[in-house]
Amino acid sequence: MAESFALTEATYYILLSLVRPRHGYGIMQLTEELSGGRVRLAAGTLYGALNALSTKGWIIQLPVEDESRRKEYRLTEKGLQALRCEVARLRELADNGEKILLEE
Amino acid sequence: MESRKTIRKWFWVWDFEKEEDWLNEMAMNGWVLEDVGWCTYHFVHCEPGEYNVRLEMHPYDESYKAFMEETGAEYAGRMMMWVYFRKKTADGPFDLFSDIDSRISHLDKIGKFLSAIGGANLLIGIANTFNPSRLGWINLLVATLLMYALGRIHGKKEALEKERLLHE
């Protein structure tokens, strides 16, 4: 069972981006695109998060043959599970919000 | 017209945001950071507002430099633990941190560094007090200053933590 706590927006979009292999800049672009320009990941924040998520075992860095190439990352099984839990948690939040606001 | 210039200037560690603001003002006036030294800033002429400049405490890390360059930023130099980057305004907004958590961990990093060298100076200072040279007071003075800096950094961190209680 994956841990159930709120992910930050940055973590959430990073995990979402890494369902398929992507490099750092690709994550920044996809996040901006998915959120309609609302969420911009700054490079330092992203770098720190990628290291923390690797240590946690939620993502892995893909092996590179050529050192000069951009490093790519992707989700692990554990990361995928955490992402699924988060989507369920967010759905609960949004459903409750809509339900209560509709009654008003 | 000269295309390069060097300015000597001192910033306290807790004023790193002011240092960044000053570097961006310089860029607005057509001088972008090219290299840094001890209390020394080297600038090269640019179009006014052509660049954004950012700085951060980050130990030497080649892969971070490569990562930043991947995102379109240019490395502008390093002084001790501080690293400086710049990015063309035309290539999009440039920030190093985009959420409270990463700002807090940056302040943590600064705090840990200050505690480490502050603690070392305290120990050396105490040891040297019993030394015939009687120069221990210098280390004790440095340690006091570093502890003051630590307090300032901690204050910034507390303000951010308070903000984080309500939102990311």
Give the CATH number, domain containing residue A64.
1.10.10.10
The secondary element (H helix, E strand) that includes residue B164 is: helix B136-164
Residues of B in contact with A49 (CB under 8 A): 102
Give the model's pLDDT for residue B1: 65
Chain B residue numbers touching A9 (CB-CB < 8 A): 99, 168
The Cα–Cα gap between B73 and B124 comes to 41
Claim to verify: residue B150 and residue B80 sit in the same structural domain: no
The chain B residue lying nearest A49, using CA atoms, is B102
Residue B86 shares a structural domain with residue B111: no
Whole-number pLDDT of residue A1: 44
Shortest alpha-carbon distance between residue A81 and chain B (Å): 23
Residues B71 and B128 placed together within one structural domain of the fold: no
| Chain A residue at shortest CA distance from B72 | A25
Report the distance separating Cα B8 and Cα A43, nearest Å.
29
**Same structural domain, B108 and B128:** yes
The verdict on A35 touching B (C-beta cutoff 8 Å) is: no
Range of the domain at A96: 9-103
Taking the C-alpha atoms of residue A61 and residue B8, their distance in angstroms, rounded to an integer, is 42
- Tens of pLDDT, residue by residue over B20-61, are 999 999 999 999 999 999 999 999 999 999 999 999 999 999
Same domain, B35 and B53: yes
pLDDT for the residue A2: 46
Do B112 and B73 reside in the same domain of the chain?
no
Task: Note whether B14 and B86 are same-domain residues.
Answer: yes
Nearest to residue B81, comparing CAs of B104, B130, B114? B114
B97: chain A residues, CB-CB within 8 Å: 42, 44-45
The number of distinct structural domains making up chain B is 2
Mutate to test the interface with B, among A5, A22, A32, A41 (most CBs of B within 10 A): A41
> B67 and A48 in contact by Cβ < 8 A?
no
CB half-sphere exposure, B3, CA atoms < 13 A: 2
- Residue A4 in any domain: the answer is no
Are the beta carbons of B98 and A25 separated by less than 8 Å? no
**What residues of chain B lie within 8 A of the CB of A39, using their CB?**
98
Residue B55: beta bridge partners? B84
- Among A24-33, A61-70, B77-86, B116-125, name the one with the lowest average pLDDT: A61-70
Looking at the fold, whether B8 and B74 belong to one and the same domain comes out as yes
Range of the domain at B86: 4-91
| Pair (B15, B50) in one structural domain | yes
Which range, of A50-59, B135-144, B152-161, averages the lowest pLDDT? B135-144
* Model pLDDT for residues A3-52, shown as the tens digit of each residue: 568 999 999 999 999 999 999 999 999 999 999 999 999 999 999 999 99
B52 shares its domain with B127: no
Total structural domains within chain A: 1
Task: Based on the fold, state whether residues B83 and B150 are members of the same structural domain.
Answer: no
pTM exceeds 0.95? no
Closest partner residue to B99 (CB to CB) among A10, A23, A24 is A10
**Domain end (from B41, B73, B91):** B91
Q: Above 0.90 for ipTM, yes or no?
A: no
